[in-house]
Structure 1
Amino acid sequence: MTYSQLMYFHLLTVVPCFFLGTALIFMRKGTNLHKFLGRIYMILMVITALSTLFMPAKVGPLFFGHFGYLHLFSFLTLYSVPTAYWALKKGNVKLHKRKMILLYVGALLIAGGFTFFPGRFMHTVFFG
């Protein structure tokens, strides 16, 4: 895949994550709908994180000739999703909730916010 194709694939997976994550934060917890949407959200977040690992950093310093600072959020996601899932399976709802909120804030709000900085794709889309 080209960088451009990866970018659009990434957008195709991350945009629904933003809306699903927002809905999940505000909806009643523990319902069948919450569980169903939560599974979709977690799967899409993992796919999103994995897709970014194939996208070389275009802004800022490079690590290993490929990764940038934003890739740290991809690794955070790949750690947080399974550990949040296992916390819930072990009955630790409090830890699950904390991990999912930190994932939403870190991976979607903070990392997503950085994509609107000059030199990045979303900045170009929205601000020319």
Structure 2
Amino acid sequence: MNYTTIVFTHLITVCAAFLLGTTMLVLKKGTPLHRMLGRSYLLLMLFTAGTALALPAQLGPTVLGHFGPIHLLCIVVAYSVPKGWLAARRGDWQTHRKVMVRLYVLALVVAGLFTLAPGRLIHSWVF
């Protein structure tokens, strides 16, 4: 896959995850719809993190000439998705809620704000 394809795939999945995540925050919890959308959201987050790993860091220091600090959020996703899902399966709603809100804030809101930094592709598109 070429760079442009990966960027657009990442952008599509992250936008879909953001819309689903935002919807999940306002919907009634525990309903069949919540569970169905939640599974889709978690799969989108994993896929989004996977595409992020394929994109080289463009700013700051790198490891192995590819991975930068922003890639640490992929670890957050890889940890949070199963932790939140397992918490829900156990009925531990407090942990599930805490993990899912942190996932949304860190992996979508904070990462989204980082894309607006000068030197990043989205910054060049927006500004």
Task: Compute the TM-score of the two structures, normalised by the length of structure 2.
Answer: 0.97
Letter of the 2:29 counterpart: K
Residues 2-17 of structure 1: pairs in structure 2 closer than 5 A: 2-17=2-17
Query: Which residue of the partner structure matches residue 42 of structure 1?
Result: 42
Runs of 4+ aligned residues of structure 1 deviating over 6 Å after TM superposition are none
Rounded Cα–Cα distance in structure 1 between residues aligned with 2:61 and 2:2:
21
Q: What per-residue deviation string (whole Å, max 9, x for no partner) do you get for residues 38-60 of structure 1?
A: 11100000000011111111111
Q: CA deviation at 1:108?
A: 0.3
Q: CA deviation at 1:64?
A: 2.1
Rounded Cα–Cα distance in structure 2 between residues aligned with 1:75 and 1:112:
16
- Where do 5+ consecutive residues of structure 1 fail to align? none
What is the number of residues matched between the two proteins? 127
Residues 70-89 of structure 1: pairs in structure 2 closer than 5 A: 70-89=70-89
Query: Which residue of the partner structure matches residue 120 of structure 2?
Result: 120
Amino-acid identity (%): 44
Q: What per-residue deviation string (whole Å, max 9, x for no partner) do you get for residues 19-71 of structure 1?
A: 11011011110011111111110000000001111111111110122100110
Task: Compute the TM-score of the two structures, normalised by the length of structure 1.
Answer: 0.96
CA-based RMSD of the aligned residues comes to 0.8
